[in-house]
Amino acid sequence: MVAITLKEKIVVKKLLITLLTASSLIVSVPLFAAETQKLRFGMQASVASNEYRAAEHAAAMLKELSGGSFIIRLYPDAQLGDDREMLEQVNIGDLDITYAQLGRIGDWIPRAKVTELPYVIRDFEHIKSIYNSAWGHQLRQEMIDNYNWHPMAISYFGTRQTTANRKITSLADFKDIKLRVPNAKPMLDFAKYVGASALPIAFSEVYLALKTNAVDGQENPLPTIKAKKFYEVQKHIALTNHMVQDLVTVVSAITYQTLSKENRQLLEQSLESGARHMANAVLEGEASLIDFFQQQGLTVTKPDLAPFKAAMKPMYDQFEKKNNKGLVAQIGAM
């Protein structure tokens, strides 16, 4: 058997779509019109996550709007691979829908990584402004044209905060603190420039590392801090707001081309509703969790963030050496 390349697979799929579209113009009714159209939605998140509940909401809405003729099947818990593998599956049309953060798209389109630099994004409204800006539209079109990733909706994934076994009221309090961060450059650099010692411990080992004082603190969105019960082994939470995270629902452009105009509209309407559902859940959860953590005996502090942002300048300069000069300021001003 002769192996074919990824590019050749995409060409073959697009040719088949063109032939199918042409044949549908000849007959009076669409081919396979009597069959239920089914899309697969893969994600790393578990069934207990906001991401899954948002997808579940979208799937229920699509089924209702289409009268059961157009449905989404959900595949949580990384059943179909990790986030990168699923994006590659969406690229060739083997998977219909998945989630991705704009910063993750930066692995393929480097300028997108500006959205994951600390203190560049202010809040969810800022995320939406960027997504709907001329810059955002250009990025999204490049995702479609070059990678077959059709961004269909954007949501709020949460704002990362810092827990520690010492009180943090200023940038100086981070000096020499052993801070667990993910093994990702933006987070490793964040720890470096606030003066902490970065320890990229596996997420599954964070609770034990905090409990045994192998690390002094960690950083995550408030819902994650609650879900993983980090508050049981930490005394303080500092609202450092260092990274505001988005979540984009990405549909395969190959799949999208096979849909009728009506089904495209139903799919977009349903996925956008799911994205709003998730954003509302995260925002409401964050608002209530401060009280929850205080009830658990934790001290919550709100440091002045201006010195934190100023400390990130070397990171911004390094980023702009490889990308557009002034991009950080441009995105920050949106």
pLDDT tens column, 97-151: 999 999 999 999 999 999 999 999 999 999 999 999 999 999 999 999 999 999 9
CB 267 within 8 A of CB 251: yes
Residues (pLDDT < 50) of the chain are 1-2, 6, 17-34
- For 293, phi then psi, to 5°, come to -65, -40
pTM attached to this predicted model = 0.84
DSSP 59-128: HHHHHHHTTTSEEEEEE-TTTT--HHHHHHHHHHTSSSEEEE-HHHHTTTSGGGGGGGSTTT--SHHHHH
At 48-68, the pLDDT tens digits run 889 999 999 999 999 999 999
Q: Which domains does the chain have, with CATH numbers?
A: 8-13+36-157+245-285 (3.40.190.170), 161-243+296-332 (3.40.190.170)
At 252-274, the pLDDT tens digits run 999 999 999 999 999 999 999 99
State the Rg of the chain over Cα. 22
What torsion do the CA atoms of 132, 138, 142, 143 make, to the nearest 10 degrees? Answer: -10
- Measure the CA–CA gap between 38 and 94, rounded to whole angstroms: 13
- The CA-atom distances, in angstroms, between 160 and each of 70, 205, 246 are 37, 18, 11
Q: Does residue 30 sit in helix, strand or coil?
A: coil
